[in-house]
Structure 1
Amino acid sequence: MEDRAGLARSGLVLALLSAGFLGASGPFGKALITAGMSPVQAVWVRIAGSALVLVPVVVLLGRASWDVVRRNLPALVLYGLLAVAGVQGFYFLAVSRIPVGVALLLEYLAPVLIVLWVRFVRRSPVPRSAAWGAAAVVIGLACVVQIWAGLRLDVVGLSAGLAAAVCQASFFLLSDRLSAAVDPLTMFACGTTVAAVALAPFARPWSADWSILWGSTMVAGHGVWTPLVVLWVVVVSTVLAYTIGILAIRRLSAPVAGVIASTEVLFAVLIAWIALGETLTLIQVVGGAVLLAGAFVAQRSVPSTQPEVKRPAATVG
């Protein structure tokens, strides 16, 4: 049996790599919007493109067991609706009504929600370090996004941000539950397929001007062929990022992986600083340090030794 401490270390690396890939999606996703897509159309291209990549790969590699998919179909549909479509849809609704920093902070309340769910709904013990790590992440995140800048109350926007947090929490909880029975590639292939169908009425891809995909657009001040931008958003910032994230959850746990995933915001700020020249304030630097410290504390909550437990196949209900 592999040493649990080694699993925790590899899980930390995978979780940070996933967060980095997701954080790097900002400039490229913005480029698609600048090229002429609406935000929801850019999200739909990201999700539908991921499904088009993943489904053939899963079939060709023989990774999908249709019997397993059929047995876990309700959970996989819920995963697609909440963990994929819900996060994106509610987040974009939130940022259309409230400042981006506030929307990000609300979405990344997910680690706290996960800790509360595991402790009070599952009635499972949660290491104190995981709880302290989640609290530190929220404080650090508030400093990084500077929540106090342009704060205003909007009930719809705040509700959408909280809904995005619930959906974000569902990604970690459902991934943790389903990964015992369903291969990560199969899980995400099903999730993106369900999400693409669910978001289609809102994105209205049949009315989009797809000719913009064959031109060029600006990324970090440089002209880039738009198909390369789409390729990055789909393959790196979605397929690789989410698949690696699911593997990280397998090695850590939903509460711990959720806390570490919050570093996505820090990566996004750092990449914007490097690529776009956006300056960092002292409070953002301090907040980033607190956020990383919280993620490290949470990662340390994974016990060094733990007996291997075979979990039953995932089902809903």
Structure 2
Amino acid sequence: MHRSTASPTLPPGRTLGLGLALVSAFAFGGSGTAAKPLIEAGLSPLHVVWLRVTGAAVALLPIAYRHRDAVLRRPGLLLGFGLLAVAGVQACYFAAISRIPVGVALLIEYLGPPLLIGYVKFVQRKPISRGSAIGAGIAVAGLACVVEVWNGLSFDALGVLFALGAACCQVGYFVLADAGRRGDRPVDPLAVSAYGLLVGAVLLTAVARPWQADWSPLGGDVVMNGHTLPAFVPAAWMVLIATVLAYLTGVISVGYLSPPVAGVVANLEAVVATVLAWVLLGEHLGLPQIAGGLLVLAGAFAAQVSTSGAEEKAAEKTSVAPDAAAPVAAVASVPPAEDRAARTARTGSTTAP
């Protein structure tokens, strides 16, 4: 599995990747808590998403300018990331929650890690550790408890398809983030995030038509768990932390972790979202949700530990294999017609085959 070329086998690199993935999950998890007061103040969910993505794209314009050569090197990658990892996830998720309960949509969307494992194994034909698969399964079971999927379950076919579309777009997030570091034309992960958000902003502008929205609530106050605060505070948090920081750390982390492991760790976003809603919005957690959060943590940990051990064993085999195979390669390279004198001069033995 691909990891950063700067530290291909060292544990510190993996530790850094895990830390960045955790930061990304925590940052993404705060998006809903920051967005809800804005929606309750009068902004539509679609316009809140547009504000989030466009604000982040503007904040990352200096990075986009610095890495402007990436547009010529990997235009397809940047377009795909913006289409799937930014605009696709947002549009499909909000279309889903307009037809099915939010909890059900969130659970289906976070089937992304198991789908990602299937993609890596059956499409990319790469080995997947048993622990990664088990960890993903445990994490999904935990998510079912976190979102209390048994409450208000609805089988709206179109809504389920939209949620599955969000899950597939989430797979694209990890696959494209990993692909950006590969090949003879690698792209800096900062450029992937910056141009992905720019592409997503353009696509969402065509859909959201922000010029038709009433943006006056941003100039007033919003209420969060009984406390009044300026609307620009949650808006700034949503843009700078839940989007800019979340995308930058998430994309970089995939370079140090395998995409399946990064995907499982990303499940923590749902736990963070639920806890923040409890603390900041007064939406209390029940015992099943607490238990589910622990399961998500256990699943992420199991996937990380299992994959780490498998990669270390693979690295050990790689370091031993060349020396062990050298005599065989040397013998195999001798042409059948080579005379005995030449073989004697090369091997020092007249009995060499």
Superposition TM-score, scaled by structure 1 size = 0.92
Q: Indicate the residue corresponding to 1:304 in structure 2.
A: 312
CA–CA separation in structure 2 for the residues paired with 1:231 and 1:285 = 29
Report whether the alignment pairs 1:263 with 2:265. no
Q: Any unmatched runs of 5+ in structure 2?
A: 1-5, 319-353
Whether the 8 Å contact between 1:23 and 1:267 is mirrored in structure 2 is yes
Shift of 1:128: 0.9
Q: Which amino acid aligns with 1:130?
A: S
Whether the 8 Å contact between 2:63 and 2:194 is mirrored in structure 1 is no
Q: Indicate the residue corresponding to 1:27 in structure 2.
A: 33
* Distance verdict in 2 for CA 1:58–1:190, change over 3 Å: closer
Q: Indicate the residue corresponding to 1:17 in structure 2.
A: 23
Residue in structure 2 matching 1:222, options 221, 227, 243: 227
Q: Indicate the residue corresponding to 1:39 in structure 2.
A: 45
Q: Indicate the residue corresponding to 2:342 in structure 1.
A: none
Q: Within 5 Å, which residues of 2 pair with 1:153-302?
A: 153-180=155-182, 181-300=186-305, 301-302=307-308
CA–CA separation in structure 2 for the residues paired with 1:254 and 1:56 = 28
Q: Indicate the residue corresponding to 1:312 in structure 2.
A: none
CA–CA separation in structure 2 for the residues paired with 1:200 and 1:136 = 38
Q: Which amino acid aligns with 1:132?
A: I
Q: Which amino acid aligns with 1:204?
A: R
Whether the 8 Å contact between 2:26 and 2:272 is mirrored in structure 1 is yes
Moved more, 5-14 or 256-265: 5-14
Please state whether the residue corresponding to 2:222 is helix, strand or coil.
Answer: strand
CA–CA separation in structure 2 for the residues paired with 1:154 and 1:197 = 30
Shift of 1:233: 0.7
Whether the 8 Å contact between 2:64 and 2:195 is mirrored in structure 1 is no
Whether the 8 Å contact between 1:5 and 1:304 is mirrored in structure 2 is no
CA–CA separation in structure 1 for the residues paired with 2:142 and 2:122 = 25
Report whether the alignment pairs 1:55 with 2:61. yes
CA–CA separation in structure 2 for the residues paired with 1:229 and 1:275 = 11
- List per-residue Cα deviations over 1:79-99 (Å, max 9, x = no partner): 101110000000001111111
Larger relative contact order (Cα-Cα within 8 Å, sequence gap ≥ 6): 1
Report the count of equivalent residues: 304
* Distance verdict in 2 for CA 1:305–1:70, change over 3 Å: farther
Whether the 8 Å contact between 2:87 and 2:204 is mirrored in structure 1 is yes
Moved more, 131-140 or 280-289: 280-289
Superposition TM-score, scaled by structure 2 size = 0.83
- Alpha-carbon RMSD: 1.6
